[in-house]
A and B are shown apart, each in its own frame.
Chain A
Amino acid sequence: MLPYLQYTFPNDIHIHWSIMIVLYPYITGLVAGAFIVSAFYHVFQKKEYQPIGRFSLLTSLAFLLCATIPLLNHLGHPERAFNIMITPNFSSAMAGFGILYTLYLVILLLEIWLVFRPDIIFYAKNYRGIRALPYRVLTLGVYDLSEEALRADRKAITILATLGLPAACLLHGYVGFLFGAIKANPWWSTPLMPIIFLFSAVVSGIALLIILYQWLAAFRNEEVNQDCLRGMARWLWYFQIQTVTLELLEIVTLSYERNEEWEIIAPLLTHQLTFSFISVQMVLGSLIPFILLMITVLMDRYLHTKVRNALTFFASLLLLIQVFAMRWNVVIGGQMMSKSLRGLRDFHPEFLAKEGVLPAILIFALPFLLLYLLVKFFPPFEKKAGQLSA
């Protein structure tokens, strides 16, 4: 390492924002991404996304409900977490969290409730005893499924989904802003940050849904709807190109401007982040899925169903890794350089510590468990329930 790159401020040897803070934007990214996919169907009325229209809403909810867990685990005083809503200091972007989170949660809950209302009423009527109770409560005592009521519901769903779109973007873009507006850290401080976060959120959301959809189809012994998959693969490719372009643009600009901070960012990329940035984020996570998706999109009509399924599945898996690597490189990478801009430090995550690797894995498994329960409770692929009750 260069001789002048040896000095970190004495307090800067600790990396405060650990894997939990990597996980948090990753999870909210999936929340926003999944909601945007649901909006393809509920707002933009793209009929080919009908098969996952309801499932993507449940995915968004499952991840949203778990989004605060890594944060609470990271806070020094989780019991004081509500201070952020009791005395929010609005000069801080972070104070907006409570409002944005609650706003989006309410919109999402209402939309899911309306989308599943026919099913809820059906189960409330057809189940017996304790099993029917939650559904009965959820009907709010109204069993009206008349054409007028359903039309009102559809209108309300469109309004909610339209409101939910900016709310989801805000919830996630705000996370990017948290980093992008820190002038003390040149690796974070760029107005591109919220946009990069948002685009990569959409990438991760679509990728997750492609994987879950194919997996659930196999599990339920159903055919994967190729129109739906084709559409998602195209969007995935588009958003991936956008994301990687923006990510590279930021670095190219930094390197071309050759400001004072490039002297520390260059060694950061070539020393500390060689593996996670160059190998994982750029090559494994960007170049390879770019080629896979290019084949899927450009050679679409020559592809066998199974090949298309496999190509999109693997591209999605790699992109999920890419987005995680991106969050890692931003959150951990930014803290690897001291604010002296003259020294780098290492990060060795512990496995069992409070904010270690194992808790991170467990927390990330939680939304999948929750999604499983939600799918059991509100079967999103069943059509007959709604039809029968109607």
Chain B
Amino acid sequence: MFKLPSFPQSAEEEVVGVSRRDFLTGALKTLPGAALFVGLLRFSPAKAAGQALGALPGTDYDPAEHLYAYVIDINKCIGCGRCVKACALENKVPDHFYRTWVERYVVSEQGETIIESPDGGKNGFKPMTPGFHVAKAYFVPKMCNHCANTPCIQVCPVGASYATPEGVVLVDNKRCIGCGYCVQACPFGSRFINPITKTAEKCTWCYHRIAKGLKPACVEACPVGARMFGDLKNERDPVRKIVAQEHLDVLQPEKLTKPRCYYLGFDKEIR
């Protein structure tokens, strides 16, 4: 606990010869300075940023030892929607809100495009009749991109949205005031205000799982390996190799948010 500036207990005796008025003026001069010091310099994020703080208390998980990345292979996704379902169960996501979702793109030879995501793809997809000859079609899983340069953290007025040392973007739902500015600022539609907690909510890459050495629920649920999650600081991680060697795309690169979710098998229709 920080200490308030302590004045000598026997101030009156010590300042013999100094009138009460002078003492008060003195106090008036020093107190605001002290208060400003205590109030403004209580935290210094700059100091902490690069500093190793060790494992989270009570665990052997050290955030500073990891840097995560997520790879989605559009060519592999079969649109079963198990990932959306698993996410909803794992994170108790309220109905009609989505931390992750799957979109279906159906494109004609003339470039007409139908995009849909019924209930976020949670219950899978049904056969459809697009009304044109289908030239190509594919599923695109989407989620929070955990951008390195993210507008949602930038606009949070109270420091409730933050990036962890391992590159995960989280929301502190005990400090979030529920203003919704981050929801507006996210270009990907990844955030929402939870109607029960009234705070901003988003994909956490299942921080509670990865901190225990597991993979995010959506990655575990994918039966075809279209979703991959890995640690860029782990030299043997296959995701590290993909990120380093493959031709990758990110969503809305023109926004320069530097997503940490990468796509394989991208198409120009995807936004």
Residue numbers of A with Cβ under 8 A of B are 3-4, 6-7, 9-14, 16-17, 74-78, 80-81, 83-84, 86-89, 91-95, 97, 178, 182-185, 335, 338-342
Contacts and interface: CB of A to CB of B under 8 A. Distances in A.
Interface string B145-187: 0000001011111111000000000000001111111011111
B263 interface: no
B21 interface: no
B112 to A, nearest CB: 7
Nearest 5 A/B pairs, CB to CB = A76-B178, A76-B198, A9-B189, A94-B157, A184-B187
16 contacts: A3-B114, A9-B142, A9-B188, A10-B96, A11-B189, A11-B190, A75-B177, A76-B176, A78-B177, A80-B177, A87-B158, A89-B157, A185-B184, A335-B184, A339-B186, A340-B115
B101 A16 contact: no
A10 B101 contact: yes
Given A92-B154, A95-B158, A184 B255 contact: yes
| Chain B interface helix/strand/loop/mixed | loop
B157 A77 contact: no
| Chain A interface helix/strand/loop/mixed | loop
Contacts of B176: 76-77, 80
Contacts of B180: 16-17, 74, 76
A354 to B, nearest CB: 11
A92 B176 CA distance: 14
B193 interface: yes
B98 to A, nearest CB: 5
A76 B255 CA distance: 28
A83 B175 contact: yes
A84 B157 contact: yes
B158 to A, nearest CB: 4
Given A11-B189, A341-B271, A77 B112 contact: no
Given A16-B180, A75-B177, A94-B181, A7 B157 contact: no
Contacts of B158: 80, 83-84, 86-89, 95
B207 interface: no
Contacts of A16: 180, 183-184, 193
A14 B192 contact: yes
Contact of A94 (B151, B155, B271): B155
B90 interface: no
Contact of A77 (B96, B142, B178): B178
A84 B177 contact: yes
Contacts of A86: 158
A205 to B, nearest CB: 26
A97 B157 contact: yes
A136 to B, nearest CB: 24
B82 interface: no
Residue of A6, A9, A83, A95 ringed by the most chain B CB atoms within 10 A: A9
A6 B115 contact: yes
Given A80-B177, A182-B184, A88 B157 contact: yes
Nearest to B97: A11
